[in-house]
Structure 1
């Protein structure tokens, strides 16, 4: 069975998929057997034949040059760019925890490391009408340690501290923070980094600038040690 790491974020559109891709690519480039998994993915385009393209999974697969099949990366793919619980209400095919467990463990049995990406923030509802599942329930069920992705800019202190406090209350282990869209030397962003560390007690593990193709300051060996 694999060692695993969950990628959560302070909200949506803050770069979880990009950071997940960097994590996967770093391990893959170091010769490690790594895979990607995301339980539910919304906001996807269709192929000419009408089938949905799991866009986040495709990005990671191509960015990290994985041979892993797209079909194994995500069991629930939706077209509407809304929370998965609403997308499934509109489109049908609601998320079932037993399917998430089964498909995750199928990936886990085949690889040494699995990077699991969340949908939105940690409280995001994945299913609601048929079976009440929030993202935190998946993290707990699969027993995943987490890292938090945050935008480096204005407002991040509040969102980082609130996400940290919620996960601490729910006893979901956090290994550290990844700052995305970081501008080294920027007074505010450097202070955001310092304040987030002081107010949460978590380390900022990497500060990622737009266009980075590797994780600054985090070699593969140190990255792999975050997995459990």
Structure 2
């Protein structure tokens, strides 16, 4: 199974929740999966350094006991776009530290599930996009669609951008971020008809949802 890059139709639509579910599902299926959050903004200060709750959730789901920085090599305090947070910190996001951490993970575990930041086209720097990570590391892309009004446009545009960036959209997951979304079934059917990738599951609203993901299409 190829390593994965989990992206979303927007920020705050459940990429971390879904990434943890993917990691947990793969581990139950006997794969030694591990989650990675290469870049995280919105981190709290601790005696050990900046820590991000999304990265910590991935660590817990992965049962990772190694260094925190291997899972989240680039951490920034302010909850803003990462390239802006990096500039505020007097640095820039580059591929080198991400690649070094990824290489350590890939040597220890497989597959690696890499969670992006924001939506697909959220830049990492003036010269680095999230698509670059997927291409350089050979990651298949899984799209998390936040099911709410406007998701059809967001999902179809994101899917088009992923393909145009030379990456493979291997599957998508519908996350019910709006529990009261009107005409949910019709919207889901529209996406199933128009997205050229398999639906891997529908995640119900709420952090304790226990819906089953079907990750078989990712094995190829």
Q: Which residue of 2 aligns with 1:117?
A: 115
Range that drifts further, 73-82 or 164-173: 164-173
Going from structure 1 to structure 2, the CA distance change for 1:183 and 1:83 (only over 3 Å counts) comes to closer
Distance, in Å, in 1 between the alignment partners of 2:62 and 2:39 is 20
Structure 1 residue 218 corresponds to structure 2 residue 214? yes
Local SS of the residue matching 1:115: strand
Distance, in Å, in 2 between the alignment partners of 1:13 and 1:56 is 11
Going from structure 1 to structure 2, the CA distance change for 1:218 and 1:67 (only over 3 Å counts) comes to farther
Task: Map 1:127-166 onto structure 2 (within 5 A).
Answer: 127-128=125-126, 132-166=127-161
Q: Which residue of 1 aligns with 2:33?
A: 34
Alpha-carbon shift at residue 142 of structure 1 (Å): 1.3
Q: Which residue of 1 aligns with 2:14?
A: 15
Q: How many residues align?
A: 219
Distance, in Å, in 2 between the alignment partners of 1:3 and 1:215 is 23
Going from structure 1 to structure 2, the CA distance change for 1:86 and 1:216 (only over 3 Å counts) comes to same
Alpha-carbon shift at residue 217 of structure 1 (Å): 4.6
Going from structure 1 to structure 2, the CA distance change for 1:113 and 1:137 (only over 3 Å counts) comes to same
Going from structure 1 to structure 2, the CA distance change for 1:214 and 1:50 (only over 3 Å counts) comes to same
* Contact 2:14–2:144 under 8 Å retained in 1: yes
Local SS of the residue matching 2:218: coil
Going from structure 1 to structure 2, the CA distance change for 1:11 and 1:185 (only over 3 Å counts) comes to closer
TM-score, structure 2 as length reference:
0.90
* Contact 1:22–1:215 under 8 Å retained in 2: no
Q: Which residue of 2 aligns with 1:91?
A: 89
Alpha-carbon shift at residue 63 of structure 1 (Å): 4.2
Distance, in Å, in 2 between the alignment partners of 1:217 and 1:5 is 15
Q: Which residue of 2 aligns with 1:199?
A: 194
Distance, in Å, in 2 between the alignment partners of 1:173 and 1:34 is 20
Alpha-carbon deviations, 1:31-80, whole Å to 9, x = none? 32111112211011112x37211221101222454434422101100001
Alpha-carbon shift at residue 99 of structure 1 (Å): 2.1
* Contact 1:33–1:111 under 8 Å retained in 2: yes
TM-score, structure 1 as length reference:
0.87
Q: Which runs of 5+ in 2 are unaligned?
A: none
Q: CA RMSD in A?
A: 2.3
